[in-house]
Amino acid sequence: MEKIKAILSASHEVTARFVETEGPKILSLVEKTCEVFRNGGKLLVFGNGGSAADAQHLAAELVNRFKRERTPLPALALTTDTSILTAVANDYDFSLVFVKQIEALGRAGDIALGISTSGRSPNVLKALARARELGLFTVGLTGGTGGGMPEVSDLVITVPSEETPRIQEGHLLFIHVFSELIEEAYFGK
């Protein structure tokens, strides 16, 4: 029980600092995303491992619904098409699995949101760099020092921890807060 309480305490501490330090950035991203949606743009989300699951989770909350019945919002996880992922990895290199999809699906004015707990995932960084070149608004969702995210992102949202589980808990909190705020801002209260 003491170990469980210690984990819970550490999680609360990190998420509280995360909301305090990154809350204004999240609000800014909500405004930007609503603007992009109103202008016919979309949100492209990607990451590896647990971050791939987070990308899918975020896209599902926006396309389906979060807390209320509403029309779908245009979000796509670039982590779900195994044929594309394996073809690009086999024919080129795994570091290009998201770049190719950004080139195929991204348009100037869209948002590319890359998720990496360390901020050092080569395929995420390359995709954000390419998205920026193509005129997409780039967002890095990360932890710790942010790794290479600041160099390739217009906006970096960072969970203030070096521990992967705490960073991932912060990312889950981001997904839920962001989804709820998008619903309210885009569709009204």
12 appears as a binding residue in the annotation: no
93 appears as a binding residue in the annotation: no
61 appears as a binding residue in the annotation: yes
What is the phi/psi pair of residue 46, to 5°? -160, 155
123 appears as a binding residue in the annotation: no
Rounded Cα distance between 44 and 113, Å, is: 6
81 appears as a binding residue in the annotation: no
118 appears as a binding residue in the annotation: yes
135 appears as a binding residue in the annotation: no
121 appears as a binding residue in the annotation: yes
* Amino acid at residue number 44: L
49 appears as a binding residue in the annotation: yes
171 appears as a binding residue in the annotation: no
Which residue numbers belong to the known binding site? 48-50, 57, 61, 90-91, 116-118, 121, 168, 176
Which residues fall in the annotated binding site for substrate?
48-50, 61, 90-91, 116-118, 121, 168
Could you tell me which residues are annotated as the binding site for Zn(2+)? Answer: 57, 61, 168, 176
